[in-house]
Amino acid sequence: MGICCEHIDRTDPFSLYRILHVDTMTIVSPSMLSADFSKLGAELVRVEKAGADWAHLDVMDGDFVPNITFGPPVIKAIRKCSDITFDAHLMIQDPIRYIDAFADAGCDMITVHCEARGDIHGAIAKIKARGLKAGISINPETDVSRMEEYLPEVDLVLVMTVHPGFGGQSFIADCVPKISWTKEWAVKNGREIHVSVDGGINKDTSKVCVEAGVDILVAGSYLFKMDDMSPTIAEWHGY
């Protein structure tokens, strides 16, 4: 039986994914941090044609992390190149200042860090008020107790398995228990929370993370170094 597109909520990346795919399939979100910035729009199209579900947008301010990447103007410019879900990861201080700008640029979901300065509860509320999905991210050295207060408010938890700021780092296996802890917390508290993982994701670590309960795999350098990332994305969908 075909799917009636009239009944698809295109404002909800999670429900859209569940309608169009098997519920147990893993979502793949290539990190555009590893793309060729000289042709970012074309790289976005390449990701979409390869079968990726989302595009992960790493936003860095040079303060929360030592690197600087891009902001709302660049995201707005590449939004016209693809309808793929924009999964924005704000590695910035005081993120509430910029929620409207990223929403206006075309992001579908916005994740902020529990370690960032500023009103994080307020930032999450503002994301939700704009009709977007909200996420909270946690760094490798941060204990899960630091993010627990935000879990009743978010749709997604992003577990960092490298230190944020630069691509191409090695996977930190000690972070994997945070994945299973989050899933257990969600079940215990009756919350539907999707768990994403970012950092050092490759053929081996992707399996480890999915076995721990991950719903979304974010991968950068491992995918973008391939001439054709579609076979790997298809394989990860099957995990």
Question: Mind telling me the catalytic residues?
Answer: 58, 198
Alpha carbon 58 to chain centroid, angstroms? 9
Burial class (CB in 10 A: 0-12, 13-18, 19+), 130: middle
List all residues 6 or more positions away from 100 whose beta carbon is below 8 Å from its beta carbon: 126, 130
In DSSP notation, 23-51 reads TTSPEEEEBGGGS-GGGHHHHHHHHHHTT
Residue type for position 34: S
CA atoms within 13 A on the CB side of 16: 14
Alpha carbon 148 to chain centroid, angstroms? 19
Q: What is the Cα–Cα distance from 226 to 239, expressed in whole angstroms?
A: 20
133: alpha, beta or left? (left if phi > 0; alpha if psi -120 to 50) = beta
Residue type for position 194: H
Alpha helices in the chain (DSSP H): 13-20, 40-49, 72-79, 99-105, 120-129, 176-188, 203-212, 221-224, 230-237
